[in-house]
């Protein structure tokens, strides 16, 4: 581990169990452990817990102040422009649903097909078109521009382009600035699903000119239950709130309602003030250390992860855009001859390594990357609708974060080398595994991000 990574670990301690079985966590893309500062902020706040925006007592005023201070922390974290609001939601999924409800009915939406379900399904209440799967980032940008341009030229511009900031399957980072420019040029707004981007990259909405962005607290080292939707107020003025109730309104009569303005308009009901406090504390802590520093420290580890996995016989890393140079620390792979669910179980039970196995709530993308025949997908749908228990094709994902060390990566690769050697019927598994370090040297380039040592012989 570099001294910079060690320093970041020291500056941002995580709240992790001190007793019981110690497991290596390589599942940060699913959920991150909470930062100790987030836990401390909650502990300090809990005694003052009271209603937010609804009472004159001391607890209520302190709770309101804490809630609004948390909002200001999120604003700073994402570089929120003055014409935008931070709406507290439960998570990224809720954020996309809130935005979908706020858009005019039957809005035309252009969506990448490589999205998490959270950024696919909410748009189906509108008129959604999917871009084709592109085999390179350059093709993706060209296809997006083409669709936006054709729609505008036909006098039916898209209202919204919905894309991820970083893929939860491949880790590939989307060039948000460029897509925002393209969207705006052709009359569309842009929504960025930053669930995987926010933990790993600095976000500056003011500089990027992005209209809508969402992320989840539980992926940025806060506990579950709070996330944020940042929205450009003007773009959803008059939008319908997803949740209707107290706090979202200015006046209600028995047959009419005057909705409030953003952000309260989209936060009906008593808010999760504890979650917001934790999220605010996490955002402050991450911004305090600097997301650029975190990104730099993680990228050295991520390159190790990719290159070492790439060096293993039988391992195929899944990529969508081989030309994408910026990737967050996510590695999704399959191991020849080993069922992915079984591999995930074995890593957890036999090696105490937590990864994720499955299709990562991105079924269309996984089906595409694993070259699943559309007919097979249809057969699976039919079987599910008949009530059959079936297994969906999947892969294994290892993902890194603030607590990851180089030793964690070595442990994963060593475990995989064992499992792979056994699956291939290698007689001397021990010798195969001990020759790993030689292979790593060949595969461990002082590589540019995204490069691999695939030219060298695999172990």
- How many whole angstroms separate alpha carbon 329 and alpha carbon 280? 24
For residue 302, what are the CA distances in angstroms to 82, 236, 295, 305, 329? 35, 38, 10, 5, 5
Looking at beta carbons only, is 163 or 459 nearer to ligand PLP? 163
Shortest Cβ 227–ligand PLP spacing (Å): 6
C-beta of 168 vs 307, nearer to ligand PLP: 168
- Extended beta strands in 105-200, E state: 108-111, 127-130, 160-164, 189-193
For residue 356, the minimal CB distance to ligand PLP (Å) is: 9
Q: Cα angle vertex 391, ends 386, 392, to 5°?
A: 100
- Contact set with ligand PLP (CB under 6 A): 91-93, 116, 118-119, 164, 168, 193, 195-196, 216
Smallest distance, ligand PLP to C-beta of residue 105, A: 24
Q: How far is the CB of 291 from ligand PLP (least distance, A)?
A: 17
Cβ closer to ligand PLP: 199 or 453? 199
- The one catalytic residue in 80, 111, 283, 361 is 361
CA-CA-CA-CA dihedral for 81, 140, 31, 368, to nearest 10 = 160
Other C-beta atoms lying within 10 Å of the C-beta of residue 357: 19
Residue 356's DSSP bridge partners are: 397
Annotation says 361 is catalytic: yes
Instruction: Show contacts of 366-373: CB within 8 Å, 24+ apart.
Output: 366/169, 366/393, 366/394, 366/395, 367/393, 368/113, 368/114, 368/133, 368/320, 369/169, 369/170, 369/318, 369/320, 369/332, 369/395, 370/318, 370/334, 370/395
Q: Which is nearer to ligand PLP, 295 or 436 (CB)?
A: 295
Instruction: Tell me how far apart the alpha carbons of residues 380 and 455 are, in angstroms, rounded to a whole number.
Output: 37
Which CB sits closer to ligand PLP, 73 or 216?
A: 216
Nearer to ligand PLP, 215 or 306 (CB): 215
- Beta carbon of residue 280, minimum distance to ligand PLP (angstroms, whole number): 17
User: Which of these, 198, 219, 171, 197, lies nearest to 28 by C-alpha position?
Assistant: 219
Q: How far is the CB of 381 from ligand PLP (least distance, A)?
A: 22
Catalytic residue set:
361
């Amino acid at each position: 581990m570099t001294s910079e990574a060690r320093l970041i670990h020291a500056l941002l301690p995580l709240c992790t169990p001190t007793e019981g079985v110690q497991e290596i966590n390589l599942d940060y893309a699913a959920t991150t452990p909470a930062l100790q500062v987030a836990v401390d902020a909650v502990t300090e706040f809990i005694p003052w817990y009271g209603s937010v925006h609804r009472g004159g007592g001391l607890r209520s005023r302190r709770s309101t102040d804490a809630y609004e201070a948390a909002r200001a922390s999120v604003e700073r974290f994402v570089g929120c422009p003055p014409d935008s609001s931070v709406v507290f939601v439960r998570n990224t999924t809720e954020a996309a649903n809130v935005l979908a409800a706020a858009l005019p009915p039957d809005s035309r939406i252009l969506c990448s097909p490589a999205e998490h379900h959270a950024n696919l399904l909410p748009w189906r209440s509108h008129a959604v078109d999917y871009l084709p799967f592109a085999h390179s980032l350059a093709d993706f940008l060209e296809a997006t521009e083409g669709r936006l341009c054709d729609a505008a030229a036909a006098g039916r511009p898209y209202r919204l382009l919905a894309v991820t900031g970083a893929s939860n399957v491949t880790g590939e980072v989307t060039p948000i600035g460029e897509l925002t420019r393209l969207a705006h040029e052709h009359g569309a707004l842009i929504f960025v699903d930053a669930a995987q981007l926010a933990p790993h990259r600095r976000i500056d909405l003011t500089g990027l000119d992005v209209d809508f962005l969402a992320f989840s607290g539980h992926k940025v080292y806060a506990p579950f239950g709070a996330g944020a939707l940042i929205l450009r107020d003007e773009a959803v003025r008059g939008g319908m709130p997803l949740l209707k109730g107290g706090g979202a309104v200015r006046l209600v009569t028995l047959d009419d309602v005057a909705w409030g303005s953003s952000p309260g308009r989209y936060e009906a009901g008593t808010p999760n003030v504890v979650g917001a406090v934790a999220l605010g504390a996490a955002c402050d802590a991450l911004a305090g250390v600097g997301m650029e520093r975190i990104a730099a420290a993680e990228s050295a580890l991520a390159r190790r992860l990719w290159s070492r996995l790439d060096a293993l016989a039988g391992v195929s890393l899944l990529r969508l855009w081989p030309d994408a140079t910026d990737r967050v620390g996510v590695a999704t792979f399959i191991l020849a001859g080993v069922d992915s669910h079984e591999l995930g179980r074995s890593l957890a039970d036999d090696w105490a390594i937590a990864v994720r196995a499955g299709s990562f709530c991105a079924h269309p993308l996984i089906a595409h990357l694993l070259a699943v025949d559309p007919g097979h997908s249809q057969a699976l749908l039919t079987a599910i609708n008949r009530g059959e228990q079936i297994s969906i094709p999947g892969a294994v994902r290892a993902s890194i974060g603030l607590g990851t060390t180089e030793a964690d990566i070595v442990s994963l690769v060593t475990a995989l080398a064992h499992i792979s050697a056994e699956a291939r019927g290698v007689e001397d598994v021990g010798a195969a595994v001990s020759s790993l370090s030689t292979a790593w040297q060949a595969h461990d380039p002082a590589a540019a991000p995204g490069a691999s040592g695939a030219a060298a012989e695999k172990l």
